[in-house]
């Protein structure tokens, strides 16, 4: 089993590195301007956007485009937009009015470096700019671009990630049912992971009601939930040095997690079962090895 996991980890890390290099080449062209009175906006945006991380979400966009025969360059603006939205969510999630975190990706959080107001505005700018990047992707049809904007909006806003954050805040003062916990994570974490896969399928030229899209959504929903289960485990078993961010915050903020309902072995088994379900959905497609390895690596990751 350890040898098998090492094979998956090796391929998954190679996939993530390849895709991160692609998306970062585009992200690095962003936010390079400003004068004496406004340069801090670009500095704050770049500080968080170029801070590294696994880049799992943009990798899903690029990999699903590849899986279904598309040119990854067609998906690249979509992949970058997803990462921009993710970065905005991290900046806001770390603010004192939310989780009040001091560390993100191994560095002080945005508000610790630039102050709350600049961090807030940097997050706002990133959230809005992402949609312009999607709309400007002239490598795909106007119809697909409109659909991409709709999907990203639904995943990011009141139908998706923001609603999940509200549920998370509610859970800090109330005991959630297991069904409510699943709802929380399907929105706060899962929605952006799902749309990352959907945008890749769109960039490959397939419709939202295609079998390819159905398989991508099923895969993404399952690995998104598994990702959160492992995150909950790592919050109590890992260290800030390993994670590059604060740990133990779930308990400090009285959050409901999967460990509120399951032991660590039970949670690990749940993540494994979700991963195998995800893998089964894409195995019939030629070239799925990269996404299979990614799913299995994320289920056993230590950071």
- 3 state SS for 58-82: HHHHHHHHHHCCCCHHHHHHHHHHH
Q: Give the pLDDT confidence of 142-172 residue by residue, as tens digits.
A: 999 999 999 999 999 999 999 999 999 999 9
The per-residue pLDDT for 229 is: 96
Q: How many CB atoms lie within 10 A of CB 146?
A: 12
Which residues is 108 bridged to in the sheet?
103
Q: The whole model's pTM is what?
A: 0.94
Q: What is the dihedral sign for C-alpha 232, 233, 239, 242?
A: negative
CA Rg, the chain, in Å? 18
Question: Do residues 171 and 184 make contact, with C-beta atoms less than 8 angstroms apart?
Answer: yes
Average confidence score pLDDT of the chain: 94
For residue 240, give every residue at least 6 positions away whose Cβ sits within 8 Å of its Cβ, in sequence order, or none: 103, 246, 247
SS3 content of the chain, % helix, strand, coil (to 5): 70, 0, 25
Residue 69: which region, alpha, beta or left (left: phi > 0; alpha: psi -120 to 50)?
A: left
| CB burial of residue 3 (10 Å; 0-12, 13-18, 19+) | exposed
Q: Give the pLDDT confidence of 240-293 residue by residue, as tens digits.
A: 766 565 666 676 667 899 999 999 999 999 999 999 999 999 999 999 999 999
């Amino acid at each position: 089993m350890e040898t098998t996991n090492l094979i998956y980890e090796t391929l998954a890390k190679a996939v993530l590195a390849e895709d991160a290099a692609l998306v970062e080449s585009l992200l690095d062209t962003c936010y390079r301007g400003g004068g004496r009175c406004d340069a801090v906006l670009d500095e704050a945006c770049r500080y968080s956007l170029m801070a590294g991380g696994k880049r799992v979400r943009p990798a899903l966009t690029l990999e699903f485009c590849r899986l279904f025969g598309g040119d990854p360059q067609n998906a690249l603006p979509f992949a970058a937009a997803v990462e921009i939205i993710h970065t905005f969510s991290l900046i806001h999630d770390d603010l004192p009015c939310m989780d009040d975190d001091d560390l993100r990706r191994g560095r002080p959080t945005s508000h610790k470096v630039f102050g709350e107001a600049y961090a807030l505005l940097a997050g706002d700018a990133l959230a809005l700019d992402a949609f312009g990047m999607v709309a400007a992707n002239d490598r795909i049809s106007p119809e697909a671009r409109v659909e991409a904007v709709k999907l990203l909006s639904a995943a990011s806003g009141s139908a998706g990630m923001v609603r999940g954050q509200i549920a998370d805040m509610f859970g800090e003062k109330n005991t959630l049912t297991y069904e409510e916990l699943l709802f929380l994570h399907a929105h706060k974490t899962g929605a952006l992971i799902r749309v990352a896969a959907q945008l890749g399928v769109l960039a490959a030229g397939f419709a939202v009601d295609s079998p390819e899209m159905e398989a991508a959504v099923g895969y993404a929903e399952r690995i998104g939930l598994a990702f959160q289960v492992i995150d909950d485990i790592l919050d109590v078993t890992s260290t800030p040095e390993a994670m590059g961010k604060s740990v133990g915050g779930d308990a400090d903020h009285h959050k409901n997690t999967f460990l509120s309902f399951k032991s660590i072995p039970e949670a690990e088994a749940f993540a494994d079962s979700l991963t195998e379900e995800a893998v089964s959905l894409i195995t019939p497609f030629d070239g799925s090895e990269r996404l299979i390895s990614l799913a299995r690596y994320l289920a056993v990751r230590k950071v």
